[in-house]
Structure 1
């Protein structure tokens, strides 16, 4: 981003921040500013690293002004925006289907800590977080780090993901790391086997896929609970 582009970007961001500040009693909020900027100016999606410090700087600058000073700037530079703000329809998330049937709404964001998050992740994070808050539920951050062969987790990405959620203003209520909970999953898996509701399949992939294509059952399904428990113990 050259100096001219940076100046133009700052002016665009300043307008959005000022209008947001007027909507929130003089204090602009980072998440809606970021969302509106990328929604109305998609070209900035390729310049996240460059515009993030500008957004932070402008928000700090505007929030230091009084509400009257903020309004005066908008009236001078973008008076038409005030009219647009008054007529703009307030939008809300649609209700969750059948939410009233449950005692509590629980949502989760479950990244694999093998790489940094991307913009598509932000949508899932915000929706999960906001729905949990709307219904006074729980928002869970769950690290899916049990597939180390295809998606090897790296320690630095656990903290990077946490920082990204904080940056979006989406604080989680509970956190789980799947690899720490394997004994729990093993316990429940064994209970399912003992109840006859699960089995251990040792078919080679090609055979299993062929039977699936033909709509045939896996031959391991007819094995006894005792045999499945033996197979299960060999896996551990």
Structure 2
């Protein structure tokens, strides 16, 4: 106990010249919140430690300050990120790529923060890319585009470029046509269950043998709206004997007639996330990709596109899932249903794990940043309690908060 108090007395004295009793109390209680129940016992100890510190000679004070400052630097270093492989200062390009079907959640904040921090460390380019090419199943919310911009800035980052994938659909059409011409993509009229049989058996479907000319003709008709939704898809030719069935001839484009909230009914053929993301990462010269290890298949699929075009794939780092014990799986679609059912007031309801809700509760951006930097980017799955975030927030807020203590029954 005395060691803890003396640490904060020394650090406070180094910062302000003379230790301040109230500030030391705040720091001690922020580091060990359980001590609040013993505050009457602690205050005399703090006063005693301040007197002892002030009674020390100048050299002894310097040694004490130096010792605790080193400990603090070691603690801060433990919260820093590991170096990026193959990264050069000034040449790193990273992206945070959400689907704006709701505001950023505590889970989204991890991607915002880690990508943002690396771009600061390497003086790189930070791209915010909205992967909003599914107007039906994961329909974007118009308000969410601005919510992401607001919350990213509140968390302490400012994207160097903002990309809306739904506004760049013709680009993806051009690359799809080039792939067809290279023999790397084909139009498939199989239904889902029918193709699944071919995929599981590891054998090609009959449409795989269509000529380039036939595929181009079908592709043009797709873009003209000549086919029904679900009638066919455009697939990437991969390896139908690949050990992972999810990699076998995956879907690159599908027909969707649902109007898009941002671009309306300008398009009826939309790229899947894997195709759009692969093209965008190349066009944006992305050097490093951070993604969950559950998305390893995405890299395996996208590498076929890169191989067809002779491109070099970005350095990829996979991290393990962070499970917030109090919330379970952070699902934007489930939260949306609960809001519509009246369970929550809105996306900033303090009971929700959205960044807007945490902000409304008084959780600071610094606390969220520190929380995720401490977790790092390990591939191991992490189970963590909100209590850790609350403790970090108390550490930041307590020295600034105007708090009062009283004894209800002296």
What TM-score do the two structures reach when normalised by structure 2? Answer: 0.38
Aligned to 1:179: 166
Aligned to 2:135: 148
| 2:150 pairs with 1:163 | yes
Whole-angstrom CA distance in 2 between matches of 1:77 and 1:197: 64
The aligned runs of 1:102-117 (5 Å cut-off) are 104-117=91-104
Quick check: which has more Rg, 1 or 2? 2
Aligned to 2:71: 87
Which consecutive unaligned segments of at least 5 residues does structure 2 have? 1-7, 32-64, 224-410
Aligned to 1:235: 222
C-alpha contact (below 8 Å) 2:92/2:122 kept by paired residues: yes
Aligned to 2:84: 96
The aligned runs of 1:1-236 (5 Å cut-off) are 68=16, 72=20, 73-75=22-24, 77-78=26-27, 86-88=70-72, 89=74, 90-91=77-78, 92-99=80-87, 104-236=91-223
Which consecutive unaligned segments of at least 5 residues does structure 1 have? 1-18, 24-66
1:78–1:117 distance in 2 versus 1, CA, 3 Å: closer
What is the aligned residue count?
172
Whole-angstrom CA distance in 2 between matches of 1:124 and 1:198: 32
Aligned to 2:334: none
- Divergent runs of 4+, >3 A: 75-86
Task: Judge which range, 136-145 or 223-232, deviates more.
Answer: 136-145
1:77–1:199 distance in 2 versus 1, CA, 3 Å: closer
Whole-angstrom CA distance in 1 between matches of 2:213 and 2:196: 26
More helix as a share of residues: 1
1:180–1:79 distance in 2 versus 1, CA, 3 Å: closer
Whole-angstrom CA distance in 2 between matches of 1:183 and 1:77: 57
Deviation of 1:227 (Å) = 0.5
Deviation of 1:71 (Å) = 5.8
Whole-angstrom CA distance in 1 between matches of 2:18 and 2:125: 36
Deviation of 1:95 (Å) = 1.4
C-alpha contact (below 8 Å) 2:95/2:129 kept by paired residues: yes
What TM-score do the two structures reach when normalised by structure 1? Answer: 0.64
Deviation of 1:104 (Å) = 2.9
C-alpha contact (below 8 Å) 2:100/2:140 kept by paired residues: yes
Deviation of 1:131 (Å) = 1.4
Whole-angstrom CA distance in 1 between matches of 2:173 and 2:207: 19
The Cα RMSD (Å) is 2.9
1:119-175 deviation per Cα after TM superposition (whole angstroms, max 9, x unaligned): 011111111111122222211101111101111112111101110100100111111
C-alpha contact (below 8 Å) 2:90/2:122 kept by paired residues: no
Whole-angstrom CA distance in 1 between matches of 2:26 and 2:109: 32
More strand as a share of residues: 2
